């Protein structure tokens, strides 16, 4: 690295550190989230035992403004539900050479309540940790004999949003022991590794600085119980791996690809950090 490059990198790091240092800290509020007057969402609970540096975990909803929070209180106001309704139609539509729909094997989408809460999870037959996206494409390819979907494409994120919606209120309970442990350890290593010219890790923002403001928004703990999430910033549903990709890119590093082993491992680790919070997606964030 040349002296000029070191100076530029050092200056960039200084800018980020300065933003975090001088910004006003705002801890999570104490509002309660009840969706449609009946689905109670746990947005604060004791951190799971395997989390070392945080005593209490909070949903990202708790760091949002009252105006943003209000979008999730009623499905009529939640922009995400448009795509959930589209996915419901897809759920019941036969595709592929086998002439099957999702409902052909699973009945109504509400039969999948609780599934979102335990993914990613170890798949014994495949001998790997699988995300919901991986499992959906396996079903499409091998049971429906239909084309697979792009990992973070519209059809996929809509379907994951549907599976999240029918699981809202159920506690996240991702298993990290047994054969999944090595993948979890890999994800933990990625979480604490500094990347890019800015030399930032996930933990630098979401563990060390949650509640501080950066880029005109409060940093949350980076919990993913609310994904897929509708972002007011880009007015669409966003997949968790798309968010991972954006975060790594923002450190000015070469990022991993959605669906890569690295991001699967990171998702398993980050999901486990939210064990005990309710499935909340599709959520609304800035």
Q: How far apart are CA 93 and CA 118, in angstroms?
A: 26
Q: Are strands 229-231 and 283-285 parallel, antiparallel or unpaired?
A: parallel
Query: Element (H or E) spanning 7, and its range?
Result: helix 3-22
Sign of CA dihedral 273, 39, 243, 250: negative
Cα(164)–Cα(172) distance, integer angstroms: 11
The CA-atom distances, in angstroms, between 7 and each of 190, 254, 257 are 26, 20, 30
Beta pairing, strands 229-231 & 236-238: antiparallel
Count helices and strands in the chain by DSSP H and E runs: 10, 11
The DSSP H or E segment spanning 124 is none
List beta partners, residue 278.
171
The pair of structure tokens assigned to 122 is: 């170890």
Distance from first CA to last CA of the chain, Å, rounded? 37
Residues annotated as catalytic are 247
Contact between 215 and 199 (Cβ < 8 Å): no
Q: Which of 249, 197, 254, 194 is nearest to 8 (CA)?
A: 197
H-run or E-run covering 15: helix 3-22
DSSP 3-state of 225: coil
């Amino acid at each position: 690295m040349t002296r000029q490059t070191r100076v530029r990198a050092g200056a960039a790091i200084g800018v980020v550190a300065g933003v975090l240092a001088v910004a006003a800290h705002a801890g999570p509020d104490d509002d309660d989230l009840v969706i449609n007057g009946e689905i109670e969402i746990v947005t604060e609970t004791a951190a799971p035992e395997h989390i070392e540096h945080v005593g209490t975990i909070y949903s990202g909803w708790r760091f949002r403004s009252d105006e943003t929070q209000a979008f999730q209180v009623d499905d009529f106001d939640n922009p995400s539900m448009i795509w959930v309704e589209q996915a419901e139609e897809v759920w019941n539509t036969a595709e592929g050479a086998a002439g099957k729909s999702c409902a052909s094997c699973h009945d109504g989408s509400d039969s999948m309540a609780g599934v979102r809460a335990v993914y990613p999870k170890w798949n014994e037959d495949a001998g790997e940790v699988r995300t919901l996206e991986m499992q959906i494409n396996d079903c499409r390819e091998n049971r429906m004999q239909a084309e697979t979907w792009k990992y973070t494409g519209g059809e996929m994120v809509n379907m994951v949003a549907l599976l999240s919606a029918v699981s809202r209120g159920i506690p996240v309970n991702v298993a990290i022991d047994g054969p999944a442990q090595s993948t979890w350890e890999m994800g933990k290593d990625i979480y604490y590794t500094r990347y890019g010219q800015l030399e930032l890790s996930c933990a630098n923002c979401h563990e060390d600085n949650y509640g501080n403001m950066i880029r005109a928004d409060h940093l949350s703990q980076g919990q993913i119980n609310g994904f897929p999430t509708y972002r007011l910033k880009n007015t669409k549903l966003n997949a968790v791996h798309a968010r991972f990709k954006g975060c790594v890119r923002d450190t000015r590093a070469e990022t991993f690809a959605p669906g890569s082993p690295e991001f699967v491992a990171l998702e398993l680790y980050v999901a486990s950090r939210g064990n005990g919070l309710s499935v909340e997606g599709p959520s609304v964030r800035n």
